[in-house]
Amino acid sequence: NHKDIYLRLADMNVERGMIGNARENYLKAARICTQKGMVRESLEIFRKIADLDPENLSVRFKIAEACLKEGLQQEAVAEYLKIAEAHVQKGEMTEAENIFRQVVGIEPGNQKALLEMGRFNLSGDHPEVAMGYAQKILETQPGSVDALILLQETHFRMGQYDKAEDTVRKLI
């Protein structure tokens, strides 16, 4: 079986510190699994690649897609959040925003994604939209400090100083 051979080679290359070769062998094994419809096995192999090369966002994206195909929404969301955070760290805000939007599409109540979407809209001078994201979080988590801070900032940005002050009181 070619897949097993590639996996053994990859494991040996990892032991020898030959990460590039290991990654290449894992990719070949993953492609074989994908072609044969072995999504779960492919997913496990892609996770090994991600462990070798955490900065490789395309591998993380493949993991997220495979998780969705398998109905593993929580795992997909976790991978998408890692991808979005990596984009934020690189200053690639448009890409990060697109990924957070995907997360909200998969899991509409995801607090992290909603909060980040609110922050993006606030920094993009769209406080009304940011307020909507803060309020959506507060519907399910009324004590969310991060959502209250976002809400307070949106009120302040919109010149609603009394409402901003009321929100600060909720924080205290």
Full DSSP string of 80-135: HHHHHHHHHHTT-HHHHHHHHHHHHHH-TT-HHHHHHHHHHHHHTT-HHHHHHHHH
- In this prediction, residue 106 has a pLDDT band, given cuts at 50, 70 and 90, of very high
Flag whether pLDDT at 64 surpasses 90: yes
The stretch 98-126 carries a mean pLDDT of 94
Q: Treating both helix axes as pointing N-terminal to C-terminal, what angle do 161-171 and 145-157 enclose, rounded to 10 degrees?
A: 160
Flag whether pLDDT at 40 surpasses 90: no
**Whole-number pLDDT of residue 56:** 83
Q: What is the mean pLDDT of the chain?
A: 92
Give this prediction's pTM. Answer: 0.79
**Whole-number pLDDT of residue 34:** 86
**Whole-number pLDDT of residue 39:** 82
**Whole-number pLDDT of residue 146:** 95
Q: CB burial class (10 A; 0-12, 13-18, 19+) of residue 144?
A: middle
